[in-house]
Amino acid sequence: MQKLNQTIVKQRGAVLILMAFIIGLGVLAYLLQAFDPARIRLEQDKKTMQALNEAKQALIGWAVSHPNTPGLMPYPDRKTDGNYDDTADCYASNVNFNYIFTLGRLPLFKNDPNCVNTKNNVVIGISGDFRDSSGERLWYEVSKNLLHDYKDNGGNPNGTSPIINPGIVNNPAYPWFTVRDRSGAVISTRVAVVIIAPAEPVGGQDRSGGIADPNQYLDKITMADNTVYENYNYPTSDINVKEFIIGENLKTVAQNDTTYKDQSVEPYYYNDKLVYITIDELMAALEKRVGEEVRNALKRYHDTNGFYPYAAKLGSAKLYACETNNLTGFLPVTNPAPTNAICNYNRAGLNVAANCGAGGFAEVASILFRKTATNFTSSSGACNFSGRDCNCTGAGNCTRGVQIFQCDANANCDTAGTTSGEVRFMGGEFDATTMAGTCNTPTAGNTCQTSAVDVRCAGIGAGSVTRNVCTDPVLNAGTSQMPAWIMNNRWQDYLYYETTRPMVGITVGNRAVGAMIATTGRPLNPPQIRPSCARGDYLDSARNVSADSDYEPTSALRNNSYNDQTFVVLP
């Protein structure tokens, strides 16, 4: 009985109470875990960043696949047209561009009629229902360098598209954006597009009514030194550099953080999330499109003709026409192909005469006359003088007293008043092997048409130089015609090309190919000067620059000293 008593004494329900306690603890732990603010914020940030990155990819895709001007970006959906309707808001041809047009919501679904009417934009938005974790639409600001100007600036009702090629990376018409990190340090000064997730309203932002100003969505930060970075503003002028800041969420910034202005004076309110597209990123993607278009044209050309066209001279500033037996250089994009041309020179006594046949000034960039001694003192018409040189691009003359060098509109030039000197035919893209008589500089093989090596004719007697038509069928025509935007945007200045006949001898990576192209990208440092006849002014790595027809693989990665992109062209 004693034992039974002890057992009963022991069983007083403590285990039940303990169980209830443990379960209670479990519930508490679960609730704490389920509603842990840090974890919830992490999940929200992840969702927002995913939406931002998807929007970025869609936007790059939209720009790269643009049918008329690849690289062009859509106008944002801005408040100032009266609503936020997920539509790109362009403007009428009688309206001037305004920087207020560059900031708004990401235009998701379509373009307004002004975009469509000019035929310079595609008729659909970027196609994606992108929202941040708070359900807000994403915002978007774009550089003027990548926007179509709808204003009719005199006889052009469709407005003007920017020329988008690697040239705008180093020399944009308007400054690229700058993006800074939480402490105000510069992350990039070459930003073309910024996409911002506004998140929930903070600091008294009021988004009621559905048509609030940008500053009701996007935030600003005042640094300790009173510098203010406002994500909701746009450039104030064509030279103003718009600066964005990727700040830290206000929930993780301590009250005593000295990076920012004293929070007892100005509370820190910032919860934007931001991604950006640099012009280098966009250009790398665009160069792929260009390369693919050209590659396709060359393949079709080969399908039709059984060979690839001869190349145009590297350094061409004028014709981009194929030259017989020339295997490396620019792509021969000229259509129609130029005709035969001959420029003549003759000196009898002290008088000099020069002409370029029926084509006249169309065959050359200019005709330059250099006096033997003493400088010119004046010029008129389409001639300009500099020291002893008189450079004519049309009818005009240069004089010194009675001494004169003159040209008519058909490039019939001569001297009078005992004016002796030599003539240079500039930019005619002649074949050096055709130089004859007193036209004897530069030497054969050095035919690149930059100012230093144009054809020089000097001395007593007659001379001439000829440009013979390449007999290859025209590349940029028929089934191998390339999109008009390639030449409109002058991509021919950024395309290197090599072929072989018969097709042996070129390697790209470890592949033997019949033809290759490379997009040359923006000029890099040490300074690449273009146009130039030097391969090294276009191509970057030693392997690409060397004349052994061996090139980097198509997968070679870009870096600060290499931005070539090679493409293999196969039959």
- The residue ranges that bind another protein (CB under 8 A) are 1, 4-5, 8-9, 11-13, 16-17, 19-20, 23-24, 26-27, 30-31, 34, 50, 54, 57-58, 60-62, 64-65, 67, 109, 124, 126-129, 285, 288-289, 292-293, 295-296, 300, 479, 483, 554, 567
Of residues 470 and 568, the one with the C-beta less far from another protein: 568
The C-alpha atoms of residue 475 and residue 473 are separated, in whole angstroms, by 6
CB of 24 to another protein, least distance (A): 6
Query: Nearer to another protein by C-beta: 205 or 481?
Result: 481
The DSSP secondary structure of 483-540, one letter per residue, reads PHHHHHTTGGGGEEEEE-SSS-SEEETTEEESEEEEE--S--TTTP-SS-S-GGGT--
Judged by beta carbon, residue 62 or residue 174, the one nearer another protein is 62
Backbone angles phi, psi at 544, to 5 degrees: -75, -40
Q: How far is the CB of 234 from another protein (least distance, A)?
A: 25
Least Cβ distance, residue 34 to another protein (angstroms): 6
Task: Pick between residue 4 and residue 185 the one whose CB is nearest to another protein.
Answer: 4
Q: Cβ of residue 550: shortest distance to another protein, in angstroms? A: 20
Q: Which is nearer to another protein, 1 or 542 (CB)?
A: 1
Q: Which is nearer to another protein, 26 or 461 (CB)?
A: 26
Angle at 450 between CA 446 and CA 451, to 5 degrees: 110
Q: What is the nearest approach in angstroms of another protein to the Cβ of residue 67?
A: 5
d(CA 376, CA 381): 15
Tokens of 304: 């039709």
Q: How far is CA 464 from the centre of its chain?
A: 41
Task: In angstroms, give the least distance from the CB of 124 to another protein.
Answer: 6
Q: Which is nearer to another protein, 266 or 293 (CB)?
A: 293
**Phi, psi at 225, each rounded to 5°:** -90, 15
**Size of the chain in residues:** 571
Provide the pairing of β-strand 366-371 with 351-355. unpaired
Pair 376, 360: CB distance under 8 Å: no
Q: How far is the CB of 157 from another protein (least distance, A)?
A: 23
Give the C-alpha separation, 306 to 213, whole Å. 61
What is the Cα 391 distance to its own chain's centre? 33
> Omega before 113 cis (within 30°)?
no
Please identify, using beta-carbon distances, which residue of 319 and 486 lies nearer to another protein.
486
Smallest gap from Cβ 412 to another protein, in A, equals 46
Report in angstroms how near the CB of residue 86 gets to another protein at its nearest: 10
Angle at 302 between CA 301 and CA 308, to 5 degrees: 90
Please spell the DSSP secondary structure of 18-57, one letter per residue.
HHHHHHHHHHHHHHHHHT-HHHHHHHHHHHHHHHHHHHHH
The two three-digit tokens of residue 207, written as one number: 């988004």
Judge whether 255 and 267 are in contact, CB under 8 Å: no
Please, which residue, 396 or 483, has the CB nearer to another protein? 483
